Amino acid sequence: MPRPITARIHPEAIRHNLGLVRQMAPDSRVWSVVKANAYGHGIERIYPALAQSDGIALLDLDEAVRVRELGWTKPILLLEGIFEPADLELADSHRLTVSVHCEEQLDLLAAAKLQQPLDIMLKMNSGMNRLGFRPYAYQKAWERARSLAAVRSVGLMSHFANADDGAIDWQLDQFDAVTQDMPGEQSLSNSAGVLWHPRAHRDWVRPGTILYGASPTGVAHHIAGFGLRAAMTLTSRIIGIQTIAPQETIGYGRTFQADQPLRIGVVACGYADGYPRHAPTGTPVAVGGVRTRLVGRVSMDMLTVDLTPCPSAGVGTPVELWGDQVKVDEVAEPSGTIGYELMCALARRVPVEVAASADTADEAIAQSAESVAG
Give the residue among 19, 8, 70, 65 at the shortest CA–CA distance from 41.
8
Q: Which of the following is catalytic: 138, 252, 327, 340? A: 252
Residue type, 62: D
Q: Is 136 a catalytic residue?
A: no
Give the residue among 199, 175, 172, 220 at the shortest CA–CA distance from 322.
220
* DSSP of 40-72: TT-HHHHGGGGTT-SEEEES-HHHHHHHHHTT-
Distances (CA, A) of 273 to 197, 300, 355: 36, 8, 20
- The 3-class secondary structure across 89-146, one letter per residue, is HHHHHCCCEEEECCHHHHHHHHHCCCCCCEEEEEEECCCCCCCCECHHHHHHHHHHHH
What DSSP state is assigned to residue 357?
P
Q: Is 74 a catalytic residue?
A: no
Asked if 296 contacts 332 with a C-beta cutoff of 8 angstroms, the reply is no
Angle, helices 135-147 vs 103-111, to 10°: value is: 0
Distances (CA, A) of 139 to 71, 123, 143, 355: 36, 11, 6, 48
Residue type, 241: I
Distances (CA, A) of 306 to 290, 301, 303: 11, 18, 11
Q: Which residues are catalytic?
A: 35, 252
